[in-house]
Amino acid sequence: MNPAPDHEERLAGEPVDATDVRVLAAVRAAHDALDPVPSGLVERITFAMTVASLEAEVARIVSDAEALTSVRGADYDRADTVTFASDGLSVMVSLEPAGPGRVDVVGWASEGEVDVELRERSRTRTAATDPDGRFTFAGVERGLVNFVLRRRGRPDAPPVITPAIDL
- What is the contact surface with other proteins in residues (CB under 8 A)? 1, 3, 7-9, 11-16, 19-20, 22-35, 37-38, 41-42, 44-46, 48-50, 52-53, 119, 121-124
Q: Please, what sign has the CA dihedral across residues 139, 90, 41, 123?
A: positive
Q: Considering the complex, what minimum distance in angstroms separates the CB of residue 74 from other proteins? A: 30
Residue 32 or 75: which CB sits closer to other proteins? 32
35 vs 37: CA distance, rounded Å: 7
Q: Considering the complex, what minimum distance in angstroms separates the CB of residue 57 from other proteins? A: 16
Residue 23 or 128: which CB sits closer to other proteins? 23
Q: Considering the complex, what minimum distance in angstroms separates the CB of residue 75 from other proteins? A: 30
Q: Considering the complex, what minimum distance in angstroms separates the CB of residue 32 from other proteins? A: 8
* 3-state SS assignment for residue 161: strand
Residue 59 or 148: which CB sits closer to other proteins? 148
Residue 55 or 156: which CB sits closer to other proteins? 55
* 3-state SS assignment for residue 119: strand
The H-or-E segment that residue 67 falls in is helix 66-69
Residue 3 or 100: which CB sits closer to other proteins? 3
What does residue 46 show for φ and ψ, rounded to 5 degrees?
Answer: -65, -35
What separation, in Å, do the N-terminal and C-terminal C-alpha atoms of the chain show?
56
What does residue 58 show for φ and ψ, rounded to 5 degrees?
Answer: -90, 125
Q: Considering the complex, what minimum distance in angstroms separates the CB of residue 97 from other proteins? A: 25
